[in-house]
Amino acid sequence: MSIFVPGNTNETAAMGEPVGEYLYKLDGKEETHLLFLCPGCGHDHPFTIRSTNPQRPRWTFNGDPVKPTFSPSLLVNKDYPDLRCHLFVENGKIRYLQDCHHDLRGQTIDLPAYPSD
């Protein structure tokens, strides 16, 4: 499967594959992303875990597909409060912070399964 990664100017598509039940890996020539489904926003968010661009933010991943942990937090749409999503993924759970725009702000939930289609 080939998927477009917004904001990725060096490559418009990457080859993807599931990583366990909760993550989807996009591995391109210049970047690797691990995506998870965000129930608050209703779509996936990527963690960039490898990039050849030193300007691009990267996250650490504990390597556990069953109880994944990424660091630091992920802030999506930081300049748009009405769309902002700010969270941690820790030990297979999503911990939403108070500055999220959606109803899951302030809650911790289990990481949902990534859609297989």
Total domains in the fold of the chain: 1
115, part of any domain: no
In the chain, what percentage of residues exceed pLDDT 90?
84
13, part of any domain: yes
116, part of any domain: no
67, part of any domain: yes
pLDDT of residue 3: 42
pLDDT at 103 over 70: yes
Q: How far is 103 from 13, CA to CA, in rounded Å?
A: 32
User: pLDDT for 71-95, tens place per residue?
Assistant: 999 999 999 999 999 999 999 999 9
Of residues 37 and 10, more confidence is placed in: 37
Q: How confident is the model at residue 116 (pLDDT cuts 50, 70, 90)?
A: confident
Q: Across all residues in the chain, what is the average pLDDT?
A: 90
Question: Strands, E, within 41-84: which ranges?
Answer: 43-51, 60-61, 70-71, 74-76
pLDDT at 18 over 50: yes
Q: Which domain does 105 fall in, by range?
A: 2-110
